[in-house]
């Protein structure tokens, strides 16, 4: 018995030694090593703040109900850009696509260089009238108070549009002649799917057979206190995004009075189907989390680093812990959310039709069809009709070795050496997904620092951004545009 205990103790010591050795050696510091920091460009602070503030005041709202679309607001915004950025409009060509979306092109002198495309969107989500009174500043006031800029679009996504225009205006003012062509694409309906804006821009460019060296859109940010075990801020660059599909589940049956119900009403059959859907989650896939930690694992605390460096042993535990947190669960599998239900119009009437809508956010590797087939198999009930609508496939995955990714990474680090940089999977949808036919290198990032608290303001009450972050965004876009333009 003593020999068995001794052998077990030795094996345990060896195992612990292997685990700690891997925890301390598995992740290496492969962050870009800054040799020459970028000198900040001189910005006229009050002037740029005024331009951004006034842009926020124009209510370019996207509605699901197209009859509510306010064309005048978008025309006003177009004219505002022309008035405030005269050099851009003198030196770059402007194509107005599908009446409201904008495509700018600053021509490069070297035709052997593929152009670069920078993106943003002009539209914003509506403000829920029931929450209007909860705003500390009016949602379209654009007020600058105590170092904060308030209003819908300050984060999503007029910041990209106006900061990019500031960068090009400064580039032209400095007399810099681009070798590489620079394009700006600003859609007008990103918040409702981008089919009338970004998609039409992409189709327009495809007809001209234009290919881009890289595409940069919104999506990634500088995170603070959002990644486990990491105390330093991390700039996360989106290299892919999840797709989505809505499945409508419908059950039809004879109606009647609730005093004489059948064994199972349409609503009851539908409820059973919903239970089956939620009981059949999709398989997990850790590759995106592993890719992120490959870049920042060296900087995490031991409690995080040890299991992540030894997934061969701890993978089930790590997956279980991640699945307990909705935000992390969404990064390792296709998510399932029952979002809409409809049954009878009265409590004493049996429904002739019961309907539910289930929203799925599709991890790259799954497809709209595979998700649909998974749910058909899970429900396994011919009484339930399953119909897919409003679908978009998950995007391809862009390389972290490309010129575009490395330029983004180096620019971030050269502007702020304290930032760690890592790739990640964007869980929402962006207009960038429309441009994979024009480039293999599609990325998502804007240099704005967000915390769990400020993330709640996306599409919510009191959307705001600090003056410091807005100025940082201009510095980043200017550095990116200038370096890309110079080849």
Give the containing element (helix H, strand E) for 74. Answer: helix 71-84
The two three-digit tokens of residue 322, written as one number: 């991640």
pLDDT band of 384, cuts 50, 70, 90: very high
All domains of the chain in start order, with CATH: 45-219+424-485 (3.40.630.10), 244-281+339-385 (3.30.70.360)
pLDDT value at 359 more than 90: yes
pTM: 0.94
The full 3-state SS of 82-107, as one line of letters, equals: HHHCHHHHHHCEEEEECCCEEEEEEC
Q: Is 307 helix (H, G, I), strand (E, B) or coil?
A: helix
Per-residue pLDDT tens over the stretch 278-313: 999 999 999 999 999 999 999 999 999 999 999 999
pLDDT value at 214 more than 80: yes
- The DSSP secondary structure of 432-487, one letter per residue, reads GGGGTTT-S-EEE----EE-HHHHTTTTSTT-EEEHHHHHHHHHHHHHHHHHHHT-
The two three-digit tokens of residue 175, written as one number: 């007399």
pLDDT band of 450, cuts 50, 70, 90: confident
User: pLDDT at position 175, please?
Assistant: 96
Report how far residue 142's alpha carbon sits from residue 148's, in angstroms, rounded to the nearest whole number: 10
Query: Residues 345-369: what's their mean pLDDT?
Result: 96
CB 462 within 8 A of CB 141: no
Report how far residue 236's alpha carbon sits from residue 219's, in angstroms, rounded to the nearest whole number: 9
Report how far residue 472's alpha carbon sits from residue 466's, in angstroms, rounded to the nearest whole number: 10
Per-residue pLDDT tens over the stretch 244-265: 999 999 999 988 888 889 999 9
Report how far residue 171's alpha carbon sits from residue 144's, in angstroms, rounded to the nearest whole number: 26
CB 52 within 8 A of CB 142: yes
CB 169 within 8 A of CB 106: no
**Catalytic residue list:** 123, 190
Query: Residues 461-466: what's their mean pLDDT?
Result: 94
Query: Residues 83-112: what's their mean pLDDT?
Result: 98
- Tell how strand 148-150 and strand 101-106 pair up: unpaired
Q: Which residues contact 91 (CB under 8 A, 6 or more apart)?
A: 106, 172
Q: What is the mean pLDDT of the chain?
A: 95
């Amino acid at each position: 018995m003593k020999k068995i205990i001794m052998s077990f103790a030795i094996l345990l010591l060896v195992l612990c030694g292997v685990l700690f050795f891997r925890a301390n050696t598995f992740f290496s510091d492969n962050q870009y090593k800054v040799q020459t920091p970028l000198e900040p460009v001189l910005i006229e602070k009050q002037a740029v703040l005024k331009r951004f503030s006034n842009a926020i005041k124009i209510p370019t709202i996207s509605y699901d109900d197209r009859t509510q679309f306010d064309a005048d607001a978008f025309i006003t915004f177009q004219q505002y850009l022309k008035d405030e950025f005269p050099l851009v409009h003198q030196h770059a060509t402007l194509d107005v696509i599908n009446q409201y979306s904008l495509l700018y092109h600053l021509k490069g002198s070297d035709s052997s260089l593929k152009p670069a495309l920078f993106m943003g969107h002009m539209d914003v989500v509506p403000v829920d009238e029931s929450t209007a009174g909860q705003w500390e500043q009016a949602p379209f006031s654009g007020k600058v108070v105590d170092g904060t800029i308030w209003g819908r679009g300050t984060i999503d996504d007029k910041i990209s549009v106006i900061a990019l225009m500031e960068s090009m205006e400064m580039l032209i003012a400095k007399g810099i002649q681009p070798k590489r062509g620079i394009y700006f694409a600003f859609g007008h309906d990103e918040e409702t799917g981008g089919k009338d804006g970004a998609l039409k821009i992409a189709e327009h460019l495809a007809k001209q057979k234009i290919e881009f060296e890289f595409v940069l859109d919104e999506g990634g940010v500088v995170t603070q206190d959002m990644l486990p075990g990491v105390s330093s801020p991390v700039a996360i660059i989106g290299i892919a995004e999840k797709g989505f599909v809505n499945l409508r589940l419908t059950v039809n049956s004879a109606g009647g009075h609730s005093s004489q119900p059948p064994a199972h009403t349409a609503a009851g059959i539908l409820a059973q189907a919903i239970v089956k859907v939620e009981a059949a989650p999709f398989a997990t896939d850790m590759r995106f989390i592993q890719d992120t930690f490959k870049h920042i694992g060296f900087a995490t605390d031991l409690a995080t680093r040890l299991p992540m460096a030894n997934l061969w042993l701890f993978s089930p535990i790590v997956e279980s812990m991640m699945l307990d947190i909705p935000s992390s669960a969404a990064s390792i599998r296709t998510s399932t959310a029952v979002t809409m239900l409809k049954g009878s119009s009265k409590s004493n009437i049996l429904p002739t039709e019961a309907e539910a809508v289930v929203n799925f956010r599709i991890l790259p590797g799954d497809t709209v069809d595979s998700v649909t087939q998974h749910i058909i198999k899970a429900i396994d009930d011919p009484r339930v009709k399953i119909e897919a609508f409003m679908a978009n496939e998950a995007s391809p995955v862009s390389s972290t070795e490309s010129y575009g990714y490395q330029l983004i990474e180096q620019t971030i680090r050269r502007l702020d050496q304290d930032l760690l940089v890592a790739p990640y999977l964007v869980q929402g949808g962006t207009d960038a997904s429309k441009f994979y036919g024009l480039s293999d290198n599609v990325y998502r990032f804007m240099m704005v620092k967000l915390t769990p608290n400020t993330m709640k303001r996306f599409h919510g009450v009191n959307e705001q951004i600090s003056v410091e972050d807005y100025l940082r965004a201009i510095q980043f876009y200017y550095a990116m545009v200038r370096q890309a333009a110079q080849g």
